[in-house]
Chains A and B, each alone.
Chain A
Amino acid sequence: MEKKVIATTSLAGCFGCHMSFLDIDERLLDLIELVEFNKSPIDDIKRFTKPVDIGIIEGGCANSENVEVLRYFRENCKILVSLGECAIMGGLPAMRNGISIDECLAEAYLNGPTVQLNKEKILPNDEEIPMLLDRVVPCHEVVKIDYFLPGCAPRADLIWDALVAIVTGKEMDLPYEVIKFD
């Protein structure tokens, strides 16, 4: 069987889902028999070098770069999986959704208790810096997502079983404890 190609990314996430992915521990060796990695922070491949079977998305969309990367994944991956609460519902970054961008930036760069160096009171304004979206949105509100694996972070067993199921076409049979939102 030809190896399936996997890509992963972390958008507005904390890399916790990727950490949980690595928590499949020695099963990583089995995984490498089943798949090869393409664009991913795990191997540091920056651009897709071939069509990808499974794209795994951690994090929701909080800025213009997140949206661009997500669309780039959709264009290059046959199957997209939202991994974790942030990808699925915005997660902790979306807690800013009730607060205006002005207020968020002012708190972070002008008024926050840890702000000490910004004497000129500059808000980040370089055009190289991605624009913040007015609110953080889940990935499936930007592109079509095929599968959802909840959890914060999703349990390693869930990630492993889901990947094996997608790669081999076998049905998942998960114990109750494995699918949790926290």
Chain B
Amino acid sequence: MADTIKIKIDGKEIITAKGKTILEAATDNGVYIPTLCHFPGVPPKGSCRICTVKVNNRFMTSCSTPVADGMTIDNNHDEIKDYRKSIVELLFISGNHFCPACEKSGNCELQALAYRLGMLVPRFPYSFPNKEVDASSPKIIKEQNRCILCKRCIKTIKDKEGKRYFAFNRRGNHLEVVLDKQMGQAISDKLAQQAMENCPVGSIIYKGKGFSEPIGSRKFDKKPIGSSIEE
């Protein structure tokens, strides 16, 4: 069949279909590639770079690169693992990630990646930013010091007319993702909870919900992130 494509990931032969991304082909076949900014169902942006693999010896983001016949993909090389770890470390030091005091701890993808990639301490110095915490919405706390600017909330949280609740604000080093003040006043419980869920980290907190699950029964307490794909 013309639409069938053969690729190799870490030596494993995979048969997949034209039009899939490397990430999708890998996931379908039980190979875990870490992601942060990508959210299934919305077009990939390729901004966090955590899903980087080596394709025919060149670095590419697997969430945004379509498969092509004969690709040889390296997902497990020490060099790649270290790049990924350094991205996680940079995200940790560029925000204030006080995990013991964070509502998302145990369910946080950034933290789970740090566990999976074996981060004990970031190799870079902490920056201790002093960004705003916006608690003006009755439903949501937006903790800017934990935001990794992945855009998942911007892409996925919309009202019935398709208007977005979250948006970029300012630029460069000051870039932040903010909740629209007016829309934040009227956001429904359901959407506010969805926003918290879609955020990979603890930057969007649904008010009154924090710390509801005991340690030991949260998403990443017992099993590393990605293990459901590898099963």
Residues of B near A97 (CB, < 8 A) are: 96, 128, 130
Q: What total of A-B pairs shows CB separation below 8 Å?
A: 65
Contact A181 B111 (CB under 8 A): yes
Contact B222 A91 (CB under 8 A): no
Please, what's the 1-or-0 string for A100-137, where 1 marks a CB less than 8 Å from any CB in chain B?
A: 00000000000000000000000000000000000101
Please, what's the 1-or-0 string for A126-162, where 1 marks a CB less than 8 Å from any CB in chain B?
A: 0000000001011011000000111010000000000
C-alpha spacing A94/B120, complex, angstroms: 18
Interface members, chain B 183-231 (any A CB < 8 Å): 215, 221-224
Distance (Å) between the CB of A64 and the closest chain B CB? Answer: 19
B106 within 8 A of A: yes
Interface members, chain B 96-113 (any A CB < 8 Å): 96-102, 105-106, 111
Chain B residue at minimum C-beta to C-beta distance from A139: B121
C-alpha spacing A181/B114, complex, angstroms: 10
Chain A residue at minimum C-beta to C-beta distance from B115: A179
Contact A94 B98 (CB under 8 A): yes
Chain B residue at minimum C-beta to C-beta distance from A179: B115
- Stretch in contact with the other chain, from A27-35, A36-44, A49-57, A82-90: A82-90
Q: 7 extra interchain contacts, Cβ-Cβ under 8 A, other than A97-B128, A182-B99? A: A90-B128, A95-B96, A95-B98, A148-B120, A152-B99, A182-B100, A182-B106
Measured CB to CB, the residues of B under 8 A from A are 96-102, 105-106, 111, 114-115, 120-121, 125-126, 128-130, 215, 221-224
Q: List 30 A-B contacts (CB under 8 A).
A: A82-B121, A85-B98, A85-B99, A85-B100, A88-B120, A89-B97, A89-B98, A90-B126, A92-B98, A95-B98, A97-B128, A98-B96, A98-B128, A98-B130, A137-B126, A138-B121, A138-B126, A148-B120, A152-B99, A176-B115, A176-B224, A177-B222, A180-B115, A180-B221, A181-B100, A181-B105, A181-B111, A181-B114, A182-B99, A182-B215
